[in-house]
Amino acid sequence: MARFWLKAIGSSIGAALLAPMLAGCATPAPAPAPAETPSQSARFQSDCAAISSFLDNAVAQGCTVGASMLVWKDGQEVCFTAAGFAVREREQPFARDTLVQIFSMTKPVTGVALMQLWEQGKFGLDDPLYWHLPEYEGLQVVTGVDEDGQPILRPPSRPPTIRDAMRHTAGFTYVEAGGPAYEVWKQLDPLAFSNTLEEFSLKLAQVPLIADPGTRWSYSAGVDVQARLVEVLSGMPFADYVQQNIFTPLGMQDSGWQRDPADLPRLAQIYVQKGDAFEPDDPKLWLEANFAGARLTMGGSGIVTTVDDYMRFARMLLREGELEGVRILQPGTIRVMATDMLDPRIPADQRGFLPGKGTGGFGINFLVRTAPPQTAGENRGTVGEFFWDGYPSMLFWVDPAQDMAVIFATQKIPFDNALHHDVRDAVYGPDYAGTVPD
């Protein structure tokens, strides 16, 4: 059954590649604003009525079954709104305490955990990965297959570093990525829920790299490698480390990978869009990762949480590592994570689906916006923002220039980047310039 979640992650890659070409639901936008100048961007204020109207229309027009949004700006909550159903079959509304599976929005949490250990001097970002996980010594790059269908291998130009694992440039593959490396992946099934993180890592190390480290951005299982590094460097199980060093200090009392059956009544159903209809996912597959005692605690997916809990995490990022007197990371470390680390020599066609999410690069488990939106079709946002999303069309972003963090929660698959475009229009207005003067 782990195949469901793995197919889901793989499908999200394909959906993200197609997202710039997909039309979103025709949700009425907020009243058109005049074309903005950078100074107008600086005076931006979130309009909760417009956001609520957008969300109501998104549900009414069949863009999703249910959703909520939470906006924190200038040191306070400025908007919470919800529409539609968390569980349509029970007419259970989306609410503040609705639990959602956030899938890849788990990745920033993993990045924060590993960077805590970096601050403690446990590793260097440019350490070869095999210094800390010996199974990754001697990795090979696959260049094709021979006449017998066997992979053709060669040594990489250099070993992958921990930095590579944190910015998706190690050369690792992922589920349903295709190619000869993926054929090896399928045989070994590193992310099967029956594996521990140690077993995952030992299996992934047998899968050939798909490119020389540092030369290509390829969405990968590198964040699950990060989770294994947390275990090795801290001497603690990954989930326990996160609980003790992130969730508990931040007061995130409703977040975790393994959940109790008593939590099920609050869990939003994942819905699959098929044409104009939404069908509930098979519960046996949908609940496997969190309610069936899976051995694997993925670094790249798996957290179940609420919008309020995740906003505490986002607010910590917005405040450069501190929340309500509790420091999780140093300000400089947050700035490192939110800085584009991609080599400018990596061309757009070697950056996977990143260009479809906005003009920018990649830091540590975040896309980082480096320029204003270039076209009307590009998602709105501010230079310097950093964000990530999750397969069931989840989204969060941190906008330091506007002193704002936003959580958009829904449970719709396939992944809908066009819906995210409309979400951002509702928050910023469709003509938001994306720059703030000094």
At residue 18 the predicted structure's pLDDT band, cuts being 50, 70 and 90, is very low
Three-point CA angle 403, 313, 258, nearest 5°:
160
pLDDT for residue 43: 56
pLDDT for residue 365: 97
Q: What would you measure as the largest C-alpha separation in the chain, in angstroms?
A: 64
- Domain map (residue ranges) of the chain: 2-115+237-428, 124-234
226: number of Cβ within 10 Å:
23
- Summary mean pLDDT of the chain: 90
DSSP 230-252: HHHHHSS-HHHHHIIIIIHHHT-
| Whole-Å CA distances, 283 to 93, 393, 409 | 19, 19, 20
Three-point CA angle 172, 330, 231, nearest 5°:
40
The number of angstroms, rounded, from the C-alpha of 72 to the middle of its chain's C-alpha atoms is: 19
At residue 151 the predicted structure's pLDDT band, cuts being 50, 70 and 90, is very high
The string of pLDDT tens digits covering residues 400-410 is 999 999 999 99
How far is it, in rounded angstroms, from Cα 227 to Cα 163?
14
Q: Flag the least confident range among 61-75, 139-153, 244-258, 285-299.
A: 285-299
96, exposed or middle or buried, with CB in 10 Å at 0-12, 13-18, 19+?
exposed
Is pLDDT of 433 > 50?
yes
Mean pLDDT of 269-290: 88
The number of angstroms, rounded, from the C-alpha of 123 to the middle of its chain's C-alpha atoms is: 24
pLDDT for residue 287: 83
DSSP 88-150: GGGTEE--TT-BEE-GGGGHHHHHHHHHHHHHTTS--TTSBGGGTSGGGTT--EEEEE-TTSP
The number of angstroms, rounded, from the C-alpha of 203 to the middle of its chain's C-alpha atoms is: 23
Q: Which amino acid is at 365?
A: N
Three-point CA angle 177, 179, 181, nearest 5°:
85
The string of pLDDT tens digits covering residues 294-321 is 899 999 999 999 999 999 999 999 999 9
pLDDT for residue 17: 40
Higher-confidence residue of 25 and 192: namely 192
pLDDT for residue 285: 76
In CATH, 124-234 is 1.10.443: no
Domain 2-115+237-428, CATH among 3.40.710.10, 3.50.50.60, 3.40.50.970, 2.120.10.80: 3.40.710.10
Mean pLDDT of 394-402: 97
For residue 59, which of 393, 305, 378 has the smallest C-alpha distance? 393
Given a contact cutoff of 8 angstroms between Cβ atoms, the answer to whether 129 and 162 are in contact is: yes
Higher-confidence residue of 289 and 79: namely 79
How far is it, in rounded angstroms, from Cα 192 to Cα 261?
22
At residue 8 the predicted structure's pLDDT band, cuts being 50, 70 and 90, is low
pLDDT for residue 9: 55
Three-point CA angle 308, 312, 318, nearest 5°:
130
Q: Flag the least confident range among 156-165, 180-189, 230-239.
A: 180-189
Give the 3-state secondary structure of residue 154: strand
Do 124-234 and 2-115+237-428 fall under one CATH topology? no
How far is it, in rounded angstroms, from Cα 80 to Cα 403?
17
116: number of Cβ within 10 Å:
22
328: number of Cβ within 10 Å:
23
Q: Could you list the beta-strand ranges (E) of 207-308.
A: 271-274, 277-280, 304-305
How far is it, in rounded angstroms, from Cα 302 to Cα 299?
8
The string of pLDDT tens digits covering residues 406-430 is 999 999 999 999 999 999 999 998 8
Q: Alpha-carbon dihedral of residues 380, 313, 87, 267, nearest 10 degrees?
A: 160
Q: Which residues contact 274 (CB under 8 A, 6 or more apart)?
A: none
Phi first, then psi, for residue 147 (nearest 5°) are -65, -20
Dig out the tokens for 108 from the structure: 């920033």
Higher-confidence residue of 292 and 432: namely 432
